[in-house]
């Protein structure tokens, strides 16, 4: 009688304790949030490999939750879910930080390349400023047109930066820089040809 | 006694065999290492960008299975037990290997495609530039060659970075820019290939030569396409000289500062000898004449020339100012020795016909035809 008195409440207590096992919603939500934040930080672009694996972790987590939910209440165990959620959250934060860092680095590199291109074009424009006037300017007219086009092309770099397409911004900057240097060399050659004399201005 | 010993021996041996075979790990370590290697290959092949769906599927499954591998690490299974985890890992390995093979093939194809497109476009760009330089048509193209050049350089940069997809895309843009460049050239200089226009130029030249014959006098005919000035005396060709034109000389003059050399019937209005011109001798022409003024007014009314533009003037046939001078602002320039010869044979009133071309197979028409052929080749 005494044994029954102890066993029944004890069993009920165990059943209540085990049977009430619920998924760790807060931890799961935190892991999902970490994934979303990583995605919003541009991880799919800047840490594509890490991001894909993070998505894998979340898939494993969701699978485990579904698996446990499908079991009889008595046999549910969300211990592994908790473990996976904690790990995904930590990983998500790491991927986000990594992506932000890589994105900032790409942006900084693009801005630096833009500055180099800008300086090269400015230097070419300064050379054009030294070009002669009057009859001798004929030799430089076509080159001046090229410099004007280069100046206009600088706007495309900014457009790519605004679109956060930093690889495009970098390649545009490098191309403009390279072309600008070639045009500068051409101007110097032309200047050497026409000399430093000043001719009289003429209509035509 | 013997029987008991034998049974014990058999039991011990059986248990030992069972223990030995049962102690194999849940998943062979070399399989894990092989999948890790596949993962590294996929990353090296830029799978997250080149095949995002395939890579995401692979990564998701890999992470999920890896987590199971860690969980099942301490499990001992019997050799005859089925091993779902190992089966799934082998399947993942197979799928990953297939993706690696496919990406390798794709990358090779893209690299070849990009290299072929880029080389073809770069060669064509150089060829067009060479033709444009030969007919001095650079100004007619405006900023288009620089735009094309920048795109080609960008495509080459992407190619060097092994970003073949982007290299192909940028090369395609360069291809369109090159096509637009050729179209502009054809539009701007197409009149050199227009038979009716050439016939009209031939008529102008013939009238000038006929005048020389009728008046037993000298006359000058300048062909812009051939960069040639011909002196006629009594209707007969006497001498021909190579000339240089304005920096935009291949086009017909429309307004002051456009660098174009005018086309039409003119006369020498003044002869300027040493000390009277900044050049070595000069023959001043009566540009703008009545026809030029009429054309200019019409263009201004139509809005094709800005209302603030001026018609220009001081178009001359002159010698060089210095030996290195290569182009003019719209005048016709001769070497000084040729200028001295010409100067000695003309007088005020000498008619000068400046035309685009004198033959249908002129240099500009031929260059345009070659560009057309290249375009068809593309």
From first to last of the 378 residues of chain B, give the pLDDT tens digit. Answer: 556 657 777 766 666 655 555 555 667 889 999 999 999 999 888 888 888 888 888 988 888 888 788 776 666 666 666 678 888 999 999 999 999 999 999 989 999 999 999 999 999 999 998 888 888 888 888 889 999 999 999 999 999 998 899 999 999 999 999 999 889 888 889 999 999 999 999 999 999 999 999 999 999 999 999 999 999 999 999 999 999 999 899 999 999 989 999 999 999 999 998 888 888 899 999 999 999 999 999 999 999 999 999 999 989 999 987 655 667 889 999 999 999 999 999 999 999 999 999 999 999 999 888 887 655 444
**A139 chain-B contacts, CB cut-off 8 A:** 247, 325-327
CATH T-level topology, domain B194-361:
L,D-transpeptidase catalytic domain-like (2.40.440)
pLDDT at A67 over 60: yes
CB contact under 8 A, B154 and A60: no
User: Please, is A197 exposed, middle or buried when counting C-beta atoms within 10 Å of its C-beta (0-12, 13-18, 19+)?
Assistant: exposed
Could you tell me the CA-to-CA distances from B65 to B35, B73, B304 in Å, in that order? 11, 12, 71
Nearest CA-CA partner of B326 in A143, A163, A58: A143
| Residues of chain B numbered 181-240 and touching chain A (CB < 8 Å) | none
pLDDT at A135 over 60: no
pLDDT at A69 over 70: yes
CB contact under 8 A, B59 and A141: no
Q: What is the mean pLDDT of residues A66-91?
A: 89
Q: What is the mean pLDDT of residues A140-155?
A: 90
Which stretches of chain B are DSSP H helices? 2-22, 29-44, 47-50, 52-71, 84-134, 144-160, 164-189, 195-214, 290-302, 336-345, 363-377
* Closest A-chain CA to B64: A60
User: Please, is A88 exposed, middle or buried when counting C-beta atoms within 10 Å of its C-beta (0-12, 13-18, 19+)?
Assistant: buried
**Chosen from B42, B48, B85 to mutate, greatest number of chain A CBs within 10 A:** B48
Instruction: Retrieve residue B368's tokens.
Output: 């345009």
CB contact under 8 A, B62 and A53: yes
CB contact under 8 A, A84 and B67: yes
**B331 chain-A contacts, CB cut-off 8 A:** 204
Separation of alpha carbons B208 and B219, rounded Å = 7
Eight-state DSSP code of residue B249:
T
* Closest A-chain CA to B63: A56
Eight-state DSSP code of residue B262:
P
Query: What's the pLDDT tens digit per position in A93-120?
Result: 999 999 999 999 999 999 999 999 999 9
Nearest CA-CA partner of B139 in A148, A184, A204: A148
Query: By mean pLDDT, which of A14-18, A22-26, A150-154, B143-147 is the weakest?
Result: A14-18
Q: List the single residue in B55, B166, B278 with the smallest CB-CB distance to A52.
A: B55
Residue B315 half-sphere exposure, CB side, CA atoms within 13 Å? Answer: 33
Separation of alpha carbons B3 and B11, rounded Å = 12
Report the run of H or E that residue A154 belongs to, with start and end. helix A141-162
Contact present, B133 and B111 (Cβ < 8 Å): no
CB contact under 8 A, A204 and B314: yes
Query: Which residue reads 């100004």 in tokens?
Result: B139
């Amino acid at each position: 009688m005494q044994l029954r008195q102890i066993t029944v409440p004890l069993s009920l207590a165990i059943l209540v304790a085990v049977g009430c096992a619920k998924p760790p919603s807060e931890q799961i939500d935190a892991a999902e949030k970490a994934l979303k934040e990583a995605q919003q930080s541009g991880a799919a672009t800047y840490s594509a490999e890490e991001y894909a694996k993070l998505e894998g972790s979340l898939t494993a987590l969701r699978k485990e939750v579904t698996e446990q939910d499908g079991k009889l209440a008595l046999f549910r165990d969300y211990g592994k879910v908790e473990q996976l959620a904690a790990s995904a959250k930590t990983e998500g934060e790491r991927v986000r930080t990594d992506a932000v860092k890589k994105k900032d680095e790409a942006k900084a590199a693009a801005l630096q390349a833009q500055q180099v291109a800008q300086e090269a074009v400015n230097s070419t424009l300064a050379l054009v400023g030294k070009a002669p006037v009057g009859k001798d300017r004929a030799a430089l007219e076509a080159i001046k047109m090229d410099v004007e086009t280069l100046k206009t092309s600088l706007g495309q770099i900014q457009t790519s930066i605004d679109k956060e397409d930093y690889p495009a911004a970098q390649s545009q900057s490098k191309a403009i820089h390279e072309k600008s240097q070639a045009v500068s060399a051409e101007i110097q050659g032309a200047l050497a040809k026409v000399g430093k004399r000043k001719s009289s201005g003429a209509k035509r | 006694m013997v029987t008991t010993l034998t049974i014990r021996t058999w039991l011990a041996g059986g248990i030992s065999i069972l223990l030995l075979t049962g102690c194999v790990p849940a998943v062979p370590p070399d399989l894990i290492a092989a999948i890790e290697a596949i993962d590294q290959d996929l990353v090296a092949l830029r799978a997250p960008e080149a095949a995002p769906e395939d890579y995401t599927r692979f990564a998701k499954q890999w992470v999920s299975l890896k987590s199971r591998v860690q969980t099942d690490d301490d499990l001992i299974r019997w050799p005859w037990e089925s091993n779902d985890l190992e089966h799934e890992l082998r399947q993942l390995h197979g799928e990953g290997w297939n993706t690696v093979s496919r990406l390798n093939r794709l990358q090779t194809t893209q690299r070849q495609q990009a290299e072929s497109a880029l080389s073809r476009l770069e060669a064509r760009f150089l060829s067009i530039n060479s033709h444009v330089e030969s007919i001095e048509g650079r100004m007619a193209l405006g900023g288009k060659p620089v735009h094309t050049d920048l795109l080609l350089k960008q495509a080459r940069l992407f190619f060097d970075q092994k970003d073949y997809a982007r290299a192909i895309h940028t090369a395609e843009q360069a291809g369109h820019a090159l096509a637009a460049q050729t179209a502009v050239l054809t539009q701007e200089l197409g009149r050199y290939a227009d038979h009716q226009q050439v016939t009209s130029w031939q008529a102008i030249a013939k009238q000038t030569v006929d005048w020389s014959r009728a008046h037993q006098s000298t006359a000058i005919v300048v062909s812009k396409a051939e960069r040639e000035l011909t002196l006629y005396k009594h209707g007969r060709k006497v001498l021909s000289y190579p000339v240089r034109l304005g920096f935009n000389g291949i086009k017909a003059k429309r307004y002051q500062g456009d660098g174009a050399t005018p086309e039409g019937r003119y006369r020498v209005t003044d002869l300027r000898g040493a000390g009277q011109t900044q050049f070595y001798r000069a023959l001043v022409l009566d540009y703008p004449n009545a026809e030029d003024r009429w054309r200019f007014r019409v263009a201004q009314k139509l809005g094709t020339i800005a209302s603030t533009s001026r018609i220009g003037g001081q178009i001359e046939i002159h010698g060089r100012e210095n030996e290195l001078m290569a182009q003019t602002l719209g005048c016709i320039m001769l070497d000084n020795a040729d200028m001295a010869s010409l100067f000695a044979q003309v007088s005020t009133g000498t008619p000068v016909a400046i035309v685009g071309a004198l033959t249908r197979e002129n240099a500009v028409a031929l260059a345009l035809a070659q560009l057309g052929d290249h375009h068809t080749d593309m």
